[in-house]
């Protein structure tokens, strides 16, 4: 048994996942610490407003081209393994243009956020703050997305880990500093904007370093000016993947925004903190999903007969891991909340207990996105998610009206669990047919 574990730990994918995990966990801890500080300083009412601001910005950012990296990662990985320098350059140039164009579109559409916030929440300032956060996301994405993908595909996982950590560390330092200075929710929102500018410069430095060894990559200027040859062939697959990823992002962004329509801002803050506590624990699995974008593409090329068994193996291990970390998060929730957030947020603890089914089954979804993309079956994923959201959102309105904060818990649990379970079964059967 020990020898098997040692052999498993020596696999390149496991080593890369562990290396990436360090930066991701560090980034999550920074974000969590910043969240605790903001919650204590702002108080339940203002922190609830800030949660709605971030949720609105997250919904707006689903149109950003950052999700295009998930579509391009398998293509770039195949080009690298095939040593096709022209394909590598064209793929990166396409991503650079796609991110730039979508960022401009998002910012134009984001100008409507104050009007939307006034209509939904009776507070236009929420929309203005959300627009600041959305602008920050657009600015940093324009260079962060290509750099992140390049580091991943060319094997610089350690530097990818550093960049991932730096992104959150820089942003949250500005956010916390401005809130501590007395600027409240406005300061928190502007802090994201200041931090994004520094993150963009940091990503540029990493890109320059990456080009020293991967000389086929274009310059930063070329990313935004030069066009790829036959770039249209990447457009349709990228748009499908982007739609699929955007729907997945809505699962995380929409619940707080929807809860804000029916709950008082204090109850929104309790729900936000409880959900954040559970998802913080689950976030230790996210690097695995990111690395699977290229790992499953590699297996599909080199060992296609093992694709189904690897998919099952990763999913079972992810479910076991999500169940364990969720149980641990629930056990320590009360003392940790008392220590970190104080008695003013103790009403969030029961919501953590109610969220344990959601967390325990979350692992079902870790390998879904990469597998949909590897099999070029993203349209099926889109159909499943559209049906779940189409039915789930109206039912969520009823649940929130009837059960309050517990209705928000039911909303999140139902959306994720049903979508993940149906998608997993569909993919598993599809892989069986392909093998036969």
Which pLDDT tens digit goes with each residue over 171-202? 999 999 999 999 999 999 999 999 999 999 99
pLDDT of residue 38: 93
pLDDT tops 70 at residue 7 = no
pLDDT of residue 194: 93
208 vs 213: CA distance, rounded Å: 10
How confident is the prediction for the chain on average, in pLDDT?
84
pLDDT of residue 313: 83
pLDDT of residue 22: 72
Please work out, in degrees rounded to the nearest 5, the angle formed at the alpha carbon of residue 220 by the alpha carbons of 23 and 18. 15
Burial of 327 per CB tally in 10 Å (0-12, 13-18, 19+): middle
pLDDT of residue 321: 86
pLDDT of residue 8: 46
Are the C-beta atoms of residues 81 and 303 closer than 8 Å to each other?
no
pLDDT of residue 20: 61
180 vs 192: CA distance, rounded Å: 14
Of 296-300, 332-336, 430-434, the least confident: 296-300
pLDDT tops 80 at residue 352 = yes
Of 58-67, 245-254, 353-362, 402-411, the least confident: 58-67
Higher-confidence position of 379 and 132: 132
- Residues 61-65 have a mean pLDDT of 75
Higher-confidence position of 178 and 28: 178
pLDDT of residue 9: 45
95 vs 79: CA distance, rounded Å: 15
pLDDT tops 70 at residue 53 = yes
Burial of 119 per CB tally in 10 Å (0-12, 13-18, 19+): exposed
pLDDT of residue 1: 44
Higher-confidence position of 345 and 287: 345
- Residues 70-76 have a mean pLDDT of 75
**Which tokens sit at 209?**
């370093």
Beta-carbon neighbour count of residue 263 at 10 Å? 20
pLDDT of residue 353: 95
pLDDT tops 70 at residue 91 = yes
Of 102-111, 238-247, 323-332, the least confident: 238-247
pLDDT of residue 3: 54
pLDDT tops 90 at residue 116 = yes
pLDDT tops 90 at residue 363 = no
pLDDT of residue 27: 84
pLDDT tops 80 at residue 83 = no
pLDDT tops 70 at residue 96 = yes
pLDDT tops 50 at residue 143 = yes
- Tokens 């929440």 — which residue? 121
Of 38-47, 76-85, 272-281, the least confident: 76-85
Q: What digits encode the pLDDT tens for the residues 424-434?
A: 999 888 887 77
pLDDT of residue 6: 47
Q: What digits encode the pLDDT tens for the residues 387-405?
A: 999 999 999 999 999 999 9
Residue by residue, DSSP assigns 266-324 as HHHHHHHHHHHHHHHHHGGGHHHHHHHHHHHHHHHHH-GGGHHHHHHHHHHHHHHHHHH
Of 163-177, 207-221, 229-243, 403-417, the least confident: 229-243
pLDDT of residue 305: 72
What is the C-alpha R_g of the chain? Answer: 21
pLDDT tops 90 at residue 259 = yes
256 vs 269: CA distance, rounded Å: 9
pLDDT of residue 248: 77
pLDDT of residue 364: 86
Place 119 in a pLDDT band, splitting at 50, 70 and 90: very high
Higher-confidence position of 366 and 388: 388
Higher-confidence position of 213 and 56: 56
Q: What percent of the chain has pLDDT over 70?
A: 89
């Amino acid at each position: 048994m020990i020898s098997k574990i040692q052999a498993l730990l020596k696999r390149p994918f496991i080593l890369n996942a562990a290396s990436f995990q360090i930066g991701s966990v560090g980034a999550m801890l920074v974000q969590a610490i910043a969240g605790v500080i903001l919650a204590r300083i702002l108080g339940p009412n203002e922190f609830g407003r800030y949660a709605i601001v971030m949720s609105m910005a997250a919904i707006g950012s689903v149109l950003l081209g950052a999700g295009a990296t998930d579509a391009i990662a398998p293509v770039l990985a195949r080009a690298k393994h095939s040593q096709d320098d022209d394909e590598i350059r064209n793929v990166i140039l396409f991503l650079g243009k796609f991110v730039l164009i979508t960022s401009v579109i998002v910012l134009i559409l984001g100008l409507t956020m104050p009007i939307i916030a006034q209509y939904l929440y009776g507070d236009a300032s929420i929309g203005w703050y959300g627009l600041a956060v959305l602008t920050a996301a657009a600015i940093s994405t324009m260079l962060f997305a290509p750099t992140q993908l390049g580091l991943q595909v060319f094997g610089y996982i350690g530097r990818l880990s550093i960049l991932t950590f730096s992104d959150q560390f820089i942003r949250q330092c500005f956010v916390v500093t401005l809130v501590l200075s007395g600027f409240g929710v406005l300061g928190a929102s502007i802090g994201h904007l200041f931090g994004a500018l520094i993150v963009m410069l940091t990503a540029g430095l990493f890109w320059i370093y990456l080009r020293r060894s991967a000389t086929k990559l274009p310059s930063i200027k070329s990313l935004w000016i030069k066009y790829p040859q036959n770039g249209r062939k990447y457009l349709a697959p990228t748009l499908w993947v982007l739609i699929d990823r955007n729907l997945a992002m809505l699962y995380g962004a929409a619940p707080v925004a929807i809860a804000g329509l029916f709950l008082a801002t204090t109850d929104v803050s309790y729900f936000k903190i409880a959900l954040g506590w559970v998802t913080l624990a689950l976030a230790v699995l996210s690097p695995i999903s990111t690395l699977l974008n290229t790992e499953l593409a590699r297996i599909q090329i080199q060992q296609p007969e093992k694709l189904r068994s690897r998919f099952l193996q990763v999913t079972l291990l992810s479910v076991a891991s999500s169940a364990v970390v969720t149980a641990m998060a629930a056990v320590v929730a009360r003392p940790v909340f008392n220590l970190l957030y104080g008695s003013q947020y103790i009403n969030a603890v029961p919501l953590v207990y109610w969220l344990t089914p959601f967390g325990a089954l979350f692992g079902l979804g870790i390998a879904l996105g990469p597998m949909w993309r590897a099999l070029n079956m993203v349209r099926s994923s889109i159909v499943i998610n559209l049906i779940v959201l189409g039915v789930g959102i109206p039912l969520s309105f009823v649940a929130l009206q009837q059960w309050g904060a517990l209705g928000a818990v039911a909303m999140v649990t139902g959306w994720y669990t049903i979508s993940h379970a149906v998608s997993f079964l569909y993919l598993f059967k599809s892989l069986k047919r392909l093998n036969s």
